[in-house]
Structure 1
Amino acid sequence: MAQVYVALGANLANPISQLNNACEALLSLAAPQSFSVSPYYRSAPMGDVEQPDYVNAVAGFKTELTPIELLNALQSIENQQGRLRELRWGPRTLDLDLLLYDKQCIDSPRLTVPHYGMRERSFVLIPLFDIAPTLSLPDNTQLKSLISDALRAELVIAQDSNDE
């Protein structure tokens, strides 16, 4: 059974509801009692496309799915929630990115793990730290060493994932 971490993001069609629905779907992929999710954070969009702020979180869970099976399942959840891939870094109903799959390093045409941009993204690092503060990355970098006050200042809590 693999420990995985998935980034969640949305900025269209009621983003908090999109993340809540995604968490429900992710629960079906998780081993019993293994699912956790960070608080939800608001963050500015990446790139030059004019669009609303994002709501982001990170979920962690154990799964029996292989990396590609998990990727397929994540993309299916995105599609079920109306995800359209029209514009790079454009607005979206839901974005699910596989950040980590155990300590594996994967570099294939469809999947790169650890996720290629996770070290530079406050909206990934801070929520990941919330649920896995002692985590070390596959290269043995301690997650806490990547967290700074400046990074924390980039985010505002949108809603605790346990609030309704």
Structure 2
Amino acid sequence: MRAVVALGTNLGDRAVNLVDALERIRALGRVVATSGVYETAPQGMVDQEPFYNTVVVVETELDPVKVVDRLLGIEREMGRVRGPRWGPRLIDLDLILYGDRSICTASVEVPHPRYRQRRFVLEPLVEVWPDARDPDGTPVADMLEAVSGQAVTPIDVPGWPTGR
């Protein structure tokens, strides 16, 4: 199954955090694409440092509950301490899409409930998977216009493997 994982960080060495998280995500399956990295303003709680955001596409045999469990485990291993909602974070790993499935359980909600309102997820997702569709059939690329006012700035991150 094709799983889309969004990565975000705004504490510590953001570039190192992303590269470290990617290496750990490889244990979920075969990484088939990594988007570029974008610097973005925080949303929700705006009085904090800018984020680095990116998207990784992984082909996995794990079910979505196990994917989320492993992503949370990676966050813990890397030292993430949960703070206020939308607050600063060492690493944030979110399962955005899991194939064309819609899933809503106590521990997993796919597609991610707020991804449609986040250019920092949509832009890199369309970059690596231009034909991606929401489980309702809407092309993800068609969602970009609604978030065009949100700034995302492409940046170079040493050691980040952009591409398919």
The residue number in structure 2 matching 1:20 is 19
1:46 CA displacement: 1.0
The residue number in structure 2 matching 1:119 is 116
Alignment-mate amino acid for residue 151 of structure 1: S
Alignment-mate amino acid for residue 82 of structure 1: G
State the Cα deviation string for residues 68-114 of structure 1 (Å, max 9, x = none): 11111000111111111121111000000000011110111111100
Of 106, 109, 133, the residue aligned with 1:109 is: 106
Cα distance in 1 between the residues matched to 2:69 and 2:100: 20
Quick check: 145-154 or 106-115, which moved more? 145-154
Cα distance in 2 between the residues matched to 1:5 and 1:68: 14
Contact 1:27 1:35 in 2 (8 A): no
State the Cα deviation string for residues 3-46 of structure 1 (Å, max 9, x = none): 00000000001111101111111112113xx4311000000001
The residue number in structure 2 matching 1:92 is 89
For the pair 1:44 / 2:41, whether they are aligned, the reply is: yes
Alignment-mate amino acid for residue 22 of structure 1: A
SS at match of 2:28: coil
SS at match of 2:38: strand
Cα distance in 1 between the residues matched to 2:36 and 2:46: 26
Contact 1:126 1:152 in 2 (8 A): no
Alignment-mate amino acid for residue 12 of structure 1: L
Alignment-mate amino acid for residue 66 of structure 2: E
SS at match of 1:20: helix
SS at match of 1:98: strand
Please provide the CA RMSD for this pair. Answer: 1.7
The TM-score with structure 2 as length reference comes to: 0.91
The residue number in structure 2 matching 1:6 is 5
The residue number in structure 2 matching 1:73 is 70
The TM-score with structure 1 as length reference comes to: 0.91
- Gaps in structure 1 of 5+ consecutive residues: none
Contact 1:3 1:62 in 2 (8 A): yes
SS at match of 1:35: strand
The residue number in structure 1 matching 2:152 is 155
Alignment-mate amino acid for residue 122 of structure 1: R
Alignment-mate amino acid for residue 40 of structure 1: V
Alignment-mate amino acid for residue 35 of structure 1: V
User: CA 1:89 to 1:75, structure 2 compared with 1: closer, same or farther past 3 Å?
Assistant: same
1:135 CA displacement: 1.0
